[in-house]
Structure 1
Amino acid sequence: MNISKAEQRTLHALARGGGILVEKNEAGKIFRVNCVTREGWTLEDCTFGVFQKLKRRRLIASKNGGPYQATRLGRISVRAQLDNRA
């Protein structure tokens, strides 16, 4: 599966325990997304377009109205990255 660099970064952050918080308008449509890592940092690569691509490919999902997280398919699809933690 072809996944762009921004999608890879977002999926990697989600696979490590992060989440995507969404804001909805009065009609219930999502208009803003905010990807937060498990450490509480905001990921700038996670734009609305990246969010839509990941959701359309079913690499992320939300359960019970919670934040969007990586699905099993999303965790399998992400390539391994070095962890810069000591």
Structure 2
Amino acid sequence: MNISKHEQRVLHELALGGEIKYARGGNGKVRSVQCYTRDGFVLSACTMDVFKRLKDKRFIKSTNGRPYRITHLGNQSVRAQMNQR
């Protein structure tokens, strides 16, 4: 499956323990997202467009209103980074 560089970067941070926090609008749809690393830093590569693509491909999932985390499929799809090999 083709995954863009930005999607790869976000998935890698999520695989290391990061999360995507979101805010919903009045109609119940997600209106803004912020990706946090496990150290608490904000990842600027995570935009609404990247978020929607990851969600459509079922690489991320939110359960019971918690922040979005990586799924098993997303974990299998992410490529290893040099510092993790």
Q: Normalising TM by the smaller chain, what interval?
A: over 0.9
Per-residue deviation, 1:32: 0.4
Task: Say what the alpha-carbon RMSD is for the aligned residues.
Answer: 1.1
Q: Secondary structure at the match of 1:83?
A: helix
Gaps of 5+ in 1: none
AA aligned to 2:58 is: R
Say which SS state the counterpart of residue 49 (structure 2) adopts: helix
For 1:17, what is the secondary structure of its paired residue? coil
Post-superposition offset of 1:63:
1.1
**TM-score, with normalisation over the residues of structure 1?**
0.94
Indicate the residue corresponding to 1:60 in structure 2.
60
**Structure 2: unaligned runs, 5 residues or longer:** none
The percentage of counterpart residues that share the same residue type is 52
Query: Which 4+ runs in 1 deviate beyond 4 A?
Result: none
Shift of 1:82: 2.2
Map 1:13-52 → 2, pairs under 5 A: 13-52=13-52
Give the Cα–Cα distance (whole angstroms) in 1 for the partners of residues 27 and 63 of structure 2.
20
